[in-house]
């Protein structure tokens, strides 16, 4: 019946209007869903930070301590006991740093009136600048009177406020320790269950390689950063001892502990050393030396030592580290700053293993 008819040419796919429009629309839809999912995940992480932060921190620290737990198992230490020993070690280190700092803090608090009087005497070097500023401001605004404003003395009313301020961090830290203990003890079973979730052999091998690379990468990161921070703490103690700052060992331990929190920790240490130096030194100029010495040390460490060592061993991009630090600090505060680089490492490992093979 179709004899004598000429075959009709079929239009190519790129010439069909509907199909040409469909591909860009599909890409826009995919990107829109990805952006919405990212926003929703960020909102959930922010709202549930009281629960998510200790859990994520425990998972990251537990993976970092995974090789240490395996070494204890190789020494015939049961996994639950190894988990207890590692968590106890982390707790003792934190308590040790607090005990080194607490006596000095209590001493400064008890001698607060004398410290304030000494600080006022040392700040007389700025009397000329203060008088100049007063003359400038007096031409613009009128001062109400020259009477001194009496500061209220602290009373018992500070106790509820202090308790309400300290209770969430303490409970969060205890929750972190419990989750860390359970995670270290159950990590081998979790690894095995995660690998066996996939059916094909290739998928299981890929997941196993990803887990091994994440664990080794985080363990190396913890080791390198710990060695760097111990060096920073030791040099800070030497600077405090040479400048006559009391409790040099305690401030060195404080510098080492706070240096685990990028940017925020060194700034806090610098401010503390500056204040303590000004208060305890015989002159204002000598009081600036501990903070100035620590500032030079942290600039050298942050700009040359740490980028060179971490960049060589862990291959982290400086811009990616900065953006990750800004995001997680905004989302979770100081602990987010501590977790920013490990989370970035995990994301880069996943990207390289899951999408790196597709590149020609």
pTM of the complete model: 0.72
Listed residue (359, 244, 211, 235) closest to 297, CA to CA: 235
Angle at 218 between CA 213 and CA 223, to 5 degrees: 125
Residues contacting 298, CB < 8 A, separation 6+: 232, 259, 266, 269, 270
Identify the DSSP state of 154.
P
For every one of its 360 residues, what pLDDT tens digit does the chain have, with 9 covering 90 and above? 455 555 555 545 445 455 444 567 777 877 788 788 888 888 888 888 888 899 999 999 999 998 899 999 999 999 999 999 999 998 998 888 777 767 666 666 665 556 666 666 666 555 556 566 666 666 655 444 444 444 444 444 555 666 666 677 788 889 999 999 999 999 989 999 988 988 888 889 988 999 999 998 888 888 888 999 999 999 999 999 999 888 888 888 888 988 888 777 888 889 888 888 887 887 778 888 999 999 999 988 877 777 677 666 566 666 777 788 888 888 888 888 888 888 888 888 888 887 765 444
Contact 229, 259 (CB under 8 A): yes
| pLDDT score of 143 | 46
153 three-state secondary structure: coil
Q: Are the CB atoms for 65 and 86 separated by under 8 Å?
A: yes
| DSSP secondary structure letters along 292-325 | HHHHHHHHHIIIIIHHHHHHHHH---HHHHHHHH
3-state secondary structure of 144: coil
Are the CB atoms for 70 and 185 separated by under 8 Å? Answer: no
346 and 59 Cβ atoms separated by less than 8 Å:
no
* Residues 297/232, Cβ–Cβ less than 8 Å: yes
């Amino acid at each position: 019946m179709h004899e004598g008819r000429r075959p009709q040419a079929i239009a190519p796919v790129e010439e069909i209007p509907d199909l040409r429009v469909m591909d860009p629309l599909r890409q826009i839809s995919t990107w829109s869903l990805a952006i919405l999912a990212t926003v929703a995940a960020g909102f959930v992480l922010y709202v549930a930070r009281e629960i998510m932060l200790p859990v994520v921190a425990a998972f990251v620290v537990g993976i970092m301590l995974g090789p240490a737990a395996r070494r204890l198992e190789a020494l015939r230490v049961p996994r639950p006991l190894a988990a207890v020993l590692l968590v106890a070690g982390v707790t003792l280190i934190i308590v040790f740093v607090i005990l080194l700092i607490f006596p000095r803090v209590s001493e400064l608090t008890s001698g607060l009136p004398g410290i304030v009087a000494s600080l006022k005497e040392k700040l007389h070097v700025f009397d000329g600048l203060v008088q100049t500023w007063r003359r400038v401001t007096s031409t613009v605004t009128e001062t109400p009177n020259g009477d001194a404003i009496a500061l209220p003395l602290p009373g018992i009313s500070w106790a509820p406020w202090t308790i309400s301020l300290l209770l969430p961090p303490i409970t969060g830290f205890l929750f972190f320790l419990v989750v860390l203990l359970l995670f270290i003890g159950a990590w081998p079973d979790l690894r095995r269950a995660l690998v066996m979730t996939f059916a094909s052999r290739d998928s299981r091998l890929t997941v196993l390689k990803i887990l091994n690379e994440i664990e080794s990468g985080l363990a190396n990161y913890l080791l390198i950063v710990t060695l760097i921070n111990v060096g920073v703490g030791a040099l800070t103690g030497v600077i405090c001892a040479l400048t006559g700052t009391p409790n040099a060992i305690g401030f060195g331990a404080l510098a080492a502990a706070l240096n685990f929190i990028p940017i925020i920790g060194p700034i806090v240490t610098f401010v503390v050393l500056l204040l303590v130096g000004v208060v305890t030194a015989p002159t204002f100029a000598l009081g600036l030396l501990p903070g100035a010495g620590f500032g030079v040390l942290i600039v050298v460490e942050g700009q040359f030592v740490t980028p060179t060592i971490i960049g060589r061993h862990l291959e982290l991009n400086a811009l990616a580290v900065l953006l990750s630090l800004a995001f997680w600090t905004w989302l979770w505060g100081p602990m987010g700053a501590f977790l920013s680089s490990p989370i970035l490492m995990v994301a880069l490992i996943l990207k390289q293993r899951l999408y790196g093979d597709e590149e020609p």
